[in-house]
Structure 1
Amino acid sequence: MIIADRPEFQSKPAPLTCAPSETVLTASKRMAKLNYGSIIVVDGDRRVKGLLTERDILRRLVAEERDPAKTTISEIMTSDLRVAHASDDVIGWLRLMSNERFRRLPVVDDDQRLINVITQGDFVSYTWPDLLDQTRTLVKQTFGGTFSLPILLGGVLLYTVVIIGAVAFSVR
């Protein structure tokens, strides 16, 4: 399946963007107002130049005791980004994002202009229903058709509570 075919890609609001010359304070206020964890840095033609995340702000601004009203985004943004195209394979990007530990993937057009942003959370919504279907199939193959998914999930929940309780008890 390609990125453009995902419902999450088609229904997402326009990504939050800013210019590299904007101050971190201004961008942070916009991020906070919309409850976004990042903002895509673009030039005047909407070409992706970088990404500013909460982590960038913490590590490169707060930890270095910089003034957010004077520090520009270009000074602290992550600029070495991977970008995808709407025609790219979803599974390939999901694997790469997981292996390389990045959470946000700007999607650009053929002229490298920003179209949207796909996150790891969007990809989880892609894989979760498939995982449940596979679990249901395996349970039916193993135990026959008598077990339902709610019973299986309840059993997994009960097992998890027991294990957490055992670990907590052994720590004391």
Structure 2
Amino acid sequence: MDRPEYKLKQRPLTCLPNTSVFEAVSKMAEKNFGAVIVINADNKVIGVATERDVMNKLVAKNLDAHQTLVSDIMTENPRVARETDDLIDWLRIMSNERFRRLPVVDDNDQIKAVFTQGDFVSYTWPDLIYQMKSIASATVSKNWAVLLIGGGIALYTVIMVIVLNMMN
């Protein structure tokens, strides 16, 4: 919550569990979102329905999107983060448990945002670059700083590609 990027996050796309998959997917397509957060009447997270859920649980089973409810295909009781949780802890958890979207709730368990692995990568880039620059300045001559920073960025990119590919 203390990161400037958090305040710029779009409001998450939400729906009730009795929403048709067709309606949910139409909203996802309109907003170019990869998931919809399923909430109850109290605005509390009860599930997540992703593009993958639509493919695996609706299309692959030849179900009717107009007749199938979001509650039929959603992942129930997903992990949720608090606005005050540590960013890096959640990146680790998401990677280990193999999920890509993390609903973020406030102290009243109300949905506030959704973080994706891509968000975590973009949020950690500035820190990585700063750390690499500091290390390069402290330990290597100025000619090597660019090489080390570039190498660090390349290494980070390779690691993130591997992690993201492992999730697929």
Q: Which of the five TM-score ranges fits, normalised by the shorter chain?
A: 0.7 to 0.9
Q: Give a deviation string over 1:35-94, Cα, whole Å, max 9, x none.
A: 100010011111111001000000000111101010000001011300111111222112
Greater Cα shift, 56-65 or 100-109? 100-109
Q: Aligned pair 1:14/2:18, yes or no?
A: no
2:158 corresponds to which residue?
none
Gaps of 5+ in 1: 158-172
Aligned residues of 1:8 and 1:122 also touching (Cα < 8 A): no
111-120 or 144-153: bigger deviation: 144-153
Amino acid at match of 2:66: A
Counterpart among 74, 78, 90 of residue 77 in structure 1: 74
Query: Are residues 136 and 40 of structure 1, via their aligned partners in 2, closer, same or farther at CA, if it must alter by over 3 Å?
Result: same
2:11 corresponds to which letter in structure 1? A
Q: Which amino acid aligns with 1:114?
A: I
1:67 matched to 2:56 = no
Q: With CA pairs under 8 Å and 6+ residues apart, which has the higher RCO, 1 or 2?
A: 1
Report whether the alignment pairs 1:46 with 2:39.
no
Alpha-carbon separation, structure 2, partners of 1:62 and 1:122 = 28
SS of residue paired to 1:5: coil
| C-alpha separation in 2, matches of 1:17 and 1:91 | 25
Alpha-carbon deviation of 1:117?
1.4
1:98 counterpart = 2:95: yes
The secondary structure found in structure 2 opposite 1:13 is: coil
Residue 55 (str. 1) matches residue 48 (str. 2): no
- Which deviates more from structure 2 when the two are superposed, residues 124-133 or residues 136-145? 136-145
The one-letter code of the counterpart of 1:31 is M
Aligned mates of 2:51, 2:116 — CA distance in 1: 15
**How many angstroms apart in 2 are the aligned matches of 1:6 and 1:122?**
12
Partners of 1:125 and 1:65 in 2: CA distance = 37
- Correspondence 1:132 to 2:144: no
How far has the Cα of 1:136 moved from its partner? 3.2
Gap change, CA 1:121 and 1:62, over 3 Å in 2: same
Which amino acid in the other structure matches residue 89 of structure 2? Answer: G
Question: Which position in structure 2 is the counterpart of 1:167?
Answer: none
Aligned-pair Cα RMSD in Å: 2.2
Sequence identity, in percent? 48
Task: Confirm whether residue 108 of structure 1 aligns to residue 108 of structure 2.
Answer: no
